[in-house]
Amino acid sequence: MRGTLEDLFSITRDGQAQSLNHSIVKSLNGKMRVTVRNLQRTIAVNVADLEKFAKRAVCCCIKIRRKKQTELMRLGDIFVWLISDRRMSRLHREFLSQTGPTDVLTFHHGEIFISVEMAKRQARVFGNSLVRELQLYIVHGLLHLHGFDDHTPAEARKMEEIQEKILNRAR
């Protein structure tokens, strides 16, 4: 699987992306805006640092070769909304007909909703810092926008491996 993952990243020695993604990465700074907003008041979060990370993560994600154009390639704006469990539960029920909060919801028009309370709980369970967990959810949402799914165990494993790679590159 390692070779397959490496093949996903079409990067030359100087760090530039090749082919279709090359022009997207070159124009990313001028075209795409990444905004992180904290709409919950329960847990303190450094929004400025998360926004910087999200911008770096977008650049890493966009370098992953895809066979066809993805939402991430088309979007001009990405919004990351940090919300409470209560708001997440409402979104989860309204859009997926499921009860209770979830960690992250991604919408194809470029919005990524993250439950900060869920991130804090999951960070404890997995031995991560809150920041690392929030970064993971940002990358997860970006990968969904870039055409990746995690519906099957194989897809989920592949996505997790790519997430780790991006988390390490975007720091």
Closest alpha carbon to 86 in 46, 40, 17, 136: 40
Pair of tokens at residue 78: 């990405």
Q: Residues in the chain with pLDDT < 70?
A: 1-31
How many H-runs (helices) and E-runs (strands) does the chain carry?
A: 8, 4
pTM of the model: 0.83
Rounded to whole angstroms, how far apart are CA atoms 107 and 71?
A: 10
pLDDT value of position 162: 96
What is 2-170's CATH number, 3.40.50.720, 3.40.50.300, 2.40.10.480, 3.40.390.30?
Answer: 3.40.390.30
> What is the tens place of the pLDDT at every residue in 121-139?
999 999 999 999 999 999 9
